[in-house]
Structure 1
Amino acid sequence: MIEYRLNGPVSQERQRIRLMSALRENRFPQAILIDGPVGIGKKALAIELAKALQCSDPNVRPCGHCFGCKMAADVGVTDSWVVPMEAKEAGARNASDVSAGSTAKTVQDFKQAYIEEIFKNPYRIDIFSAAAGISVELIRTMTNSFVLKGDRVRVVIVAEADRMNESAANAFLKTLEEVPPDTYFILTTSSREKMLQTIRSRCLALHLLPLSDDEVKSETLRLLGEDADPSDVTDDVVGLAVGSPGKALYYVEHGKAWCELAAKYLKHSLNNEYYEAFKELGEAGVEEASDAMRFLEVLSFLISDLLRQQSGAKLRIPATTALVNIDAYPRVDASALDRALETVQETLSRVASRRTVPTMLLQSLSIKLFEGSK
C-alpha cells in the first residue's frame, strides 16, 4: 500500500490524517473545500495535496522528485490554479493570442506572478487586493484547458473561492456536476458562507483549525528566515494573530503602528479629544475600507483586552493595553467596555457593507464609544 505523508502543523494533524486515509484507501473526492480563518495555511495544505495527488512514486507520496510532484510545484503551470485577479488583469489577452515578440503582459503572466507569491509564502494575507475577484472568464479559461490534460492526473487549486462572482460560481458549478476523469479541485476559502450552497454541497468540507501560540511563533520565525530576530515576534503580534501565521507576519511589519494608533484613538475618545482622534486617523491615512477594517480589528482586540484586565484574565496584547492606562478612568467599568466593543463591531459591519464613507464612521465612533461613561 502507498504511504502518504502530508506535512503541516501539529494543530492541524487530525485534518491531515483524514486526508491521508482517503488517499490510501483510494476514495479521495474529486472536489474538496478547505475553509478556516485567513493565513492559517489553507493554500499550503492545498499545495501538499496537489503534489500527493499527482505523484507517481509507488511507495511514498509526495516524493518531491517525480514528474507529477515537479508539475505541482512549477509556478509556470498556470492552468493548475484559479486565483482572484483585478479586472484589467483578468481582461488581458491570452498567451496564445499574443503575437511573437510582444512585450504585453498576458493573463497568464499576471496569474503566474500571483502563484509565485503564494509559493514564496502560502500564509500571506495580502497577496490579492480588495478589488480582485474570480470572473467567469477565468473559470472558462480553466475549463478550456482540460482538453490539453492528456492522460495525467490533473489538480486545480481555486484560491479564495468565495471571490467568485455569480456568473463564475454558476459556471464552476456546471464543471462540478460532471468532473472530468482524473481531475481534482481543491478550493480554499475563509468565507464559506459567501459561496453557493450548491458548490459547497458537492465538495468534501475540511475545516482547518488555528495554530497554537507556540506554533504561530515558530512558524512565523521560520517564514521570516534565518536572519529573523525573535524579539520581532512579540506577545502582541502573537495575540493579534489569533492562531494565524499569515496575520503574525503582517503584524510583525505593521502591528506597532496599528496598535499605537488604536491606543491613541481610544485615549482621545476617553478624554473627549475628538479633533485629535480625527487628526491621528487622517495622518495615518486610514481612508480606504480595508484600512478601516484593519484598524477596527485592532481596536476590538484592545477593548477586549481592557475587559480581560478588569477581570484578571491573561492579556492578548499586553504592551498595547498598558498604553491606555484604563485605571485612570474609574467610571469606565466592564459594562461600558462591553458597550464600546459592541459599537466597534457594529461599525466594522457598516464599513464592510461599503455603504458609508469609512472616515465618517470612524469619526462618529470616537464620539459614541464611551458616551455617558466619562
Structure 2
Amino acid sequence: MARAPKPVVFEEDEDLPVRANPDLVGHEAAAAVLEAAARSGRLPHAWLLAGPPGIGKATLAYRFGRWLLAGGADQPPTPGAPPLHLPPENPVFRRVAAGSHADLFALRPEAGSGVRALIKIEDVRRAIQKLALTPGEGAWRFVLVDHAETMRGEAANALLKTLEEPPPRAVLMLTTPAPDRLLPTIRSRCRRLDLAPLSEVETASVLARQRPEMPAADRVRLAAIAEGSPGQALALAEGEGLALQELVDGVLAGLATGDWRRWHAVADQVAAKRDGSAFVTFMALLRQAISGAVRQAARGGAAPGWLALRPLAEWSTLWDSLGRLAAETDVLSLDRKQAVLTALGWLTPPRR
C-alpha cells in the first residue's frame, strides 16, 4: 500500500500585509518629501526612516519602493491622489506584494540559534550582489533594511561599504525604532526622516480597515492604549490586549490595599499561556501605564490617584526595574508567575 503523502506546510508570510498595504495613514508629509526628492532628479541613495515601533515605517518604505520601481518619478502626479500613489492593480504593485519583483530586495531580522532575531550577514551580501547587477525590470533597484538596528558586526560593516560607494540608480531605505543603535557612520550617510506616532483617530481608522468585525468601542480603546502605533494595536487585538489592559488597570487601582490574594490570581492569569505572550504584553502595558501617568503629572495634567502613593522619581526607578525584570524573565525563561508577583510586590507601597 502506498504511503499517503506528507502534508505540505507553508510558513506564514508575516511581511505580506505590509507589502500589500495600499493605504497611507498619518505620514503624508514624509511621503511628500520622498516624492519631491525623487522628482527633483537628485534623489539621495540612502534614507533612514526612524520612529516608534508599529507606526508604519516599513509600510511607507514599500510604498516608496514600488512607486519608484513603477516609474512614478517620471510620470505626472495623479490629480487628487495622495503622495506616492500606485493603484493596487498596477503590475508592479502586484509583484511587490507577491515578493517577486526582480529589483526589490527586503532584509528583515530572522531568528537563528541565538535568542534574538538578527539581520544576517549572508542576506546583506546577497542584496549587495544584486545591487551590482543591471535592473531587471526598470530603471531602479530598491533595498529595504527593516529593523536595521538588528544588524551586527560584519552585516553592518558590509552595508556601510555599499553606502559609501553606492551603485547608480539604487536606493537603500533603512527603518528603525532605535537609530542610536546604528553605527554613526551609517547614520551619517543616510538622509533621515523621523515619523511621528499616529493620532488616536488615525490609529482607530487603521483598525477599522484591518479589523472591520471588531466593535467600534474596542477599536477606540485599543487606539488609546497603543499610543499612536497601529502595529501595537493590532498585536494587542490578537493577543487579548484589552483583557490584559483591564488587569493592569485593576492592579494599579488596587495598589493602596495590597490585596495579595488578588495579586496571586492576576499572576496565575498572566502566566497561564505557555508561550509567554501574555506575560510580555502585561509587563509592557504595566510599564506603559506608569510612564504615561508620570508624563501626565510632570506636565501638570490630571494623574490617576495611585500615582500619589509614591514620589515621581520612585515611579521612574520602578519603571526601569520592571523593564529589567521582564527582559530577564523572557530571555532566561524564568518563572513568569513569580516575576509578576515580584513586580506587584515592588509596586505595592509599604504599610505604615
TM over 0.5: yes
1:84 aligns with 2:69: no
Q: Report Cα offsets for 1:285-314 as digits up to 9, x if no partner.
A: 2788875553233223444676769x9956
Distance in 1 between the 2:91 and 2:23 partners? 20
- SS class of match (2:71): coil
- What's the CA shift for 1:16? 2.3
Q: Structure 1 residues 148 and 312 mapped into 2: Cα distance closer, same or farther (>3 Å)? A: closer
Return the TM-score normalized by structure 2: 0.75
Structure 1 distance, partners of 2:293, 2:49, is: 34
- Report the secondary structure of 2:174's partner residue: strand
Structure 2 runs not aligned, ≥5 long:
1-21, 78-83
Q: Distance in 2 between matches of 1:340 and 1:259?
A: 23
In the alignment, residue 284 of structure 1 is paired with which amino acid?
V
More displaced stretch, 300-309 vs 46-55: 300-309
When the two chains are superposed, the root-mean-square deviation of aligned CA atoms in Å is 3.5
2:247 aligned with 1:261, yes or no?
yes
Q: Which sits farther off after the overlay, 44-53 or 55-64?
A: 55-64
Paired positions, count = 312
The match for 1:25 among 40, 47, 60 is: 40
Q: Against the structure 1 CA distance between its residues 304 and 138, is the aligned structure 2 distance closer, same or farther, given a 3 Å change threshold? A: closer
Partner of 1:231: 217
What TM-score do the two structures reach when normalised by structure 1?
0.71
Which residue of 113, 118, 136 maps to 2:121? 136
What residue number does 1:242 align with?
Answer: 227
1:171 match: 158
1:48 to 63, 84, 87: 63
Cα distance in 2 between the residues matched to 1:19 and 1:229: 36
- 1:368, CA displacement in angstroms? 2.5
CA offset digits 1:1-42 (Å, max 9, x no partner) = xxxxx9623x43332222222122112211101011111111
Would you say the 8 A contact 1:133–1:163 is kept in 2? yes
> Could you tell me which residue of structure 2 aligns to residue 59 of structure 1?
76
Distance 1:232 1:347, change over 3 A: same
Aligned residues of 1:54 and 1:69 also touching (Cα < 8 A):
no
Matched, 1:215 2:239: no
More moved, 147-156 vs 332-341:
332-341
Letter in 1 for 2:287: S
Unaligned runs of 5+ in 1: 1-5, 91-129, 316-320, 327-331
Residue pair 2:244, 2:278 contacting (<8 A) in 1 also: no
Match of 1:368 in 2: 346
How far the C-alpha of 1:252 sits from its partner, in A, is 2.9
The equivalent of 1:341 in structure 2 is: 315
1:8 aligned to 2:24? yes
